[in-house]
Each structure stands twice: as structure tokens, then as C-alpha cells.
Chains A and B, each alone.
Chain A
Amino acid sequence: MSKLQKSALLNLSMATVFAMISTACILFLASVNAKGVVPWLIGLFVCVMISPGVYVLYRKKSFEVRFDEREKMINRRAFIVAAIALAMFLGCACTLPFAILGGQSVVKVYYLPLIFIATVLTAQFVHSAAILVMCALEGDDG
């Protein structure tokens, strides 16, 4: 398994874990109907506390690796596919409720961050999956 594939797997697992944690936090905030600045200050404090650890881990596993030309090309193609998937997912998530429920309906505001997290997770998933698939295909060809 190449460094790019390992990086893709790590990104995929980390994005999944953080999306699950974020979703749980948002649902908790919604259940207690937290309002105002205090929950956000707590969230900011937690982010400040855990971000150095995440940075060290991420940098060690991902940013320091040096890809060759073939891996860079795969990464670039995967990024384009992920950007298209992101745009399509966000478009569907924003327009389909409008089309299905009608323009006069209302939605719970906690759906917005859920849509946002789902979009980011989808983009990360597609990016990592595209890298793994393209690496596997190139491996088969080689």
C-alpha cells in the first residue's frame, strides 16, 4: 500500500470519526435547546484543546509524505471528482427539500449543520474512495 493510499484511508477514517462526533454534539445541543454564545465558547475551547493533537497526527501521517508524479496526478483527479460530488450533494440537499416539501414549509435549524457536515463527509469519502479505486486500477494495469 502506497503512502497516498495510507493517507486516503487515514483521512477517510478521521473524517468519519469527526463527522460522527460533530453530529452527536449538534443533536445534543438541539435536544437541550442550547442558545446563545456559551455552547459555542465551549465548542471553541474543545477545538482549541484538541486541534494541536490532530495537527501533529495529521501532519505526521499526511503532510510530510512526498508523493511522486503519478500519485500527484491521482490526487488531483480525485480532488476534481470530490469537488464535483460536493457541489452535486450540496445542490441536491438544498433543492430537494424545497421541491418535495414546498416553499412555505419550515425546517429545523439543526438540519443546516447536518447538511454541511454530510457534504464535507461526502466530499472526503469520494476523494478517498477515488484515490483508492484509481490506485487499485493503476495497480491492476501495472
Chain B
Amino acid sequence: MNKLQKIALLNFSLAGTCLILQLIRLAAGTSLISLFVSTVTLALMCVMMVSYFRRKSLVKQGGGEYDERDRSIHTTAALYGLMTAFLVSFLTTFLAFLIVGPGGELEIGYVLGMFLLSANSFFFAESAVVLIKYGRRGMDDE
């Protein structure tokens, strides 16, 4: 397992944890738990951002660890991540509009939650695709 895979695995586990925490926050509803879960989610997202930029610096350094196939894998993964985030953003908007109705009102935290959920989905899908693609590549090499 190379460094890029390790970073992807870390991001995948963190994004998965964040998604579960978001679901807990949605189910809990109370403000104290919600505040705690939001703080933990933000902290985890900061860690994810740091590891994401760490990967960027590894890519910029170049060397033998990052070749054309790695670039292709990460481009495809970023595309999948964007598509997932777009879909999640659309679904949260659509469902809120459908359930509450156009004349209704929502807590402003929902808008922020929508953004966090979309960002988490991006990291989750991107890391998952990176891991899957590297797994397939490993099988092809064997």
C-alpha cells in the first residue's frame, strides 16, 4: 500500500465517520448533541482537508510515486466525487422542498448541514473510487 492509498484510506474512514455522525445529528435533533456532533464533524473535516493537501504536495513533488496512471485514477476519482456531491446537494434540496413545501421555513443550520453533507460525500466517493481503482490495478498487475 503506497502513501496515496494510505491517504485515501484515511479520508475514506474519516468521511464515513462524518456521514454516520451527520445521520446521528439528524436523528438526535436536540441542540446540545447537535452542537457536539457538528464540532466533531468540522474537526474531522479539517483533518481530511489537511490530508487532501498533503496528497497535493506529494503530487507536486513528483518522483516515482506518482505516474500517469495515478493521475488518471485521481482525475476519475475527483470526477466521481463531484458527481456524488452534486447528486447529494440536489437530493437534499429537492427533498427539503418536497417535504416542507415552498412556503415553509427551515433552520439555517440545515443549509450549513447541506454543504457539510455534500463535502463529506465528495471525500467519501473520491476516496472510495481511489481505493477501488488501486485495488483493480493491483489485481491487474497480479
Contact = CB atoms under 8 A, between A and B. Distances in A.
Contact of A106 (B98, B108, B118): B108
A112 B102 contact: no
A33 interface: yes
18 contacts: A34-B101, A34-B102, A36-B101, A40-B98, A83-B78, A86-B82, A90-B118, A91-B115, A94-B115, A97-B108, A98-B112, A106-B108, A107-B105, A109-B102, A110-B97, A110-B102, A112-B106, A116-B93
A106 B89 contact: no
A106 B96 CA distance: 14
Could you say which interface size class chain A belongs to? 20 to 34
Interface residues of B, number: 25
B102 A98 contact: no
B140 to A, nearest CB: 25
Nearest to B78: A83
Given A40-B98, A83-B82, A94-B114, A109 B104 contact: yes
A50 interface: no
A26 interface: yes
Contact of A98 (B90, B94, B100, B109): B109
B117 to A, nearest CB: 10
